């Protein structure tokens, strides 16, 4: 069942968090919906502009709608991740329940105005709007931000930003980063900043981007099989995610971990079966591994079993 993030966040605030997972292809959509149905877990399916360009906006939406029929018990929202105004308006027309306008690289006033423009288009059509304040390091789509140009969310600006822009949730920069190069500086999440943001915006849903775990074993395994990924990369720990939930983190974005999983499954398969060339065989293995991975994430996020507790209708 397709629902607004309002329903999900009203239920989870302070108690558990919703996995928001980026999808690019059919295998990932199957893996995600299969895991959500198995665990009775509400999810946010999210799509970046790059994913829309890769699959085609119509194709990716059609696959998500097909998944909703194949896995009818799944409670989910469809969210545009890191869009601009054009992407957001297009996603609203396509039936997304939620859009992110990312003007976080602009100055404060421009970020407010651009977010407000999207809010004014989205709210009359009951579409939820996520905005971002602060700048994460790393690579998201085609934008790269060096670690020394990243900027934590300023708690003093957070309330003014939300009041004036009218956004429904806020992505905060508190030390996470995009891509498989997380935390190479080893600083971890900044809970003192997060606490101040929550005090400024009590009961307001906050979003954590760049929250893959990036397990060392997976990086080592990929490199052993011929990969050349950064060895000292590490992501957000399970303990950090759990600790962030009472501070109002209602949505945790995951993309990198599922890309690493794709790489690991395929590198391993072709290393062990150099004579094979059928995409169906490793594709099935990836879907299974994806499902198993997400079921374990839902446990950590505390969202397992919560789809039935939502009392929809």
**What's the angle, vertex CA 64, arms to CA 59 and CA 69, rounded to 5?**
125
How near is the Cβ of 274 to Zn ion at its closest, in Å?
A: 36
How near is the Cβ of 22 to Zn ion at its closest, in Å?
A: 9
Site for Zn ion in 154-213 (CB under 5 A): 209
First-residue to last-residue Cα distance in the chain: 10
Site for Zn ion in 207-266 (CB under 5 A): 209
Q: What's the alpha-carbon Rg for the chain, to the nearest Å?
A: 19
Strand intervals (E) in the chain: 18-22, 43-47, 76-83, 98-101, 128-133, 137-140, 143-145, 169-172, 177-178, 206-208, 249-254
Q: Is 168 a catalytic residue?
A: no
171 contacts: CB under 8 Å, gap ≥ 6: 100, 102, 104, 130, 131, 132, 133, 206, 207, 208, 209
102 is in an annotated binding site: yes
Query: Which two tokens mark 50?
Result: 């790059």
Q: What is the DSSP code string of 105-136?
A: TS-HHHHHHHHHHHHHHHGGGT-EEEEEESB-
Residue placing its CB nearer to Zn ion in the complex, 39 or 176: 176
Residues β-bridged to residue 18: 251
195 is in an annotated binding site: no
Residue placing its CB nearer to Zn ion in the complex, 209 or 304: 209
How near is the Cβ of 107 to Zn ion at its closest, in Å?
A: 20
Residue placing its CB nearer to Zn ion in the complex, 248 or 283: 248
Map residues 47-76 to x or -, x wherever contact with Zn ion holds by CB under 5 A. ------------------------------
237 is in an annotated binding site: no
178 is in an annotated binding site: yes
Q: Residue 271, SS3?
A: helix
How near is the Cβ of 269 to Zn ion at its closest, in Å?
A: 29
Cβ atoms of 76 and 36 closer than 8 Å: yes
255 is in an annotated binding site: yes
How near is the Cβ of 288 to Zn ion at its closest, in Å?
A: 27
CA distance 37 to 33: 6
Among 81, 168, 218, 257, the active-site one is 81
Residue placing its CB nearer to Zn ion in the complex, 1 or 135: 135
Q: Using CB positions, name the residue nearest to Zn ion.
A: 209
292 is in an annotated binding site: no
Residue placing its CB nearer to Zn ion in the complex, 68 or 249: 249
- Residue closest to 170 by CA, chosen among 247, 87, 91: 247
CA distance 137 to 111: 18
- By CB under 5 A, the count of residues binding Zn ion is 1
Contact footprint for Zn ion (CB under 5 A): 209
Annotated binding site for Zn(2+): 82, 102, 132, 178, 209
The binding site consists of 82, 102, 132, 178-179, 209-212, 253-256
The residues assigned a catalytic role are: 81
């Amino acid at each position: 069942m397709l629902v607004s993030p309002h329903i999900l966040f009203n239920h989870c605030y302070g108690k558990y968090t919703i996995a928001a997972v980026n999808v690019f292809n059919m295998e990932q959509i199957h893996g995600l919906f299969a895991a959500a149905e198995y665990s009775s877990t509400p999810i946010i399916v999210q799509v970046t502009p790059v994913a829309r360009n890769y699959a085609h906006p119509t194709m990716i939406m059609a696959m998500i709608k097909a998944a909703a029929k194949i896995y009818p018990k799944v409670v989910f929202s469809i969210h545009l991740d890191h869009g601009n105004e054009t992407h957001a308006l297009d996603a609203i027309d396509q039936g997304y329940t939620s859009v992110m306008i990312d003007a976080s690289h602009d100055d404060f006033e421009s970020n407010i105005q651009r977010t407000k423009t999207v809010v004014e288009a989205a709210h009359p059509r009951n579409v939820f709007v996520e905005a971002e304040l602060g700048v994460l390091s790393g690579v998201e789509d085609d934008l790269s931000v060096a670690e020394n140009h990243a900027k934590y969310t300023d708690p003093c600006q957070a309330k003014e930003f939300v009041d004036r822009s009218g956004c429904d949730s806020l992505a905060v920069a508190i030390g996470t980063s995009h891509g498989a190069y997380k935390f190479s500086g080893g600083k971890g999440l900044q809970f003192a900043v997060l606490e101040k943001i929550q005090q400024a915006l009590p009961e307001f849903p906050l979003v954590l981007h760049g929250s893959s775990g990036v397990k060392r074993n997976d990086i080592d395994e990929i490199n052993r099989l011929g990969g050349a990924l950064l060895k000292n990369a590490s992501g957000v720990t399970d303990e950090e995610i759990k600790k962030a939930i009472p501070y109002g983190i209602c949505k945790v974005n995951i993309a990198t971990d599922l890309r690493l999983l794709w790489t690991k499954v395929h590198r391993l398969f072709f290393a062990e079966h150099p004579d094979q060339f059928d995409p169906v065989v490793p594709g099935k293995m990836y879907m299974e591994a994806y499902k198993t991975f997400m079921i374990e994430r839902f446990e950590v996020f505390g969202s397992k079993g919560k789809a039935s507790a939502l009392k929809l209708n």
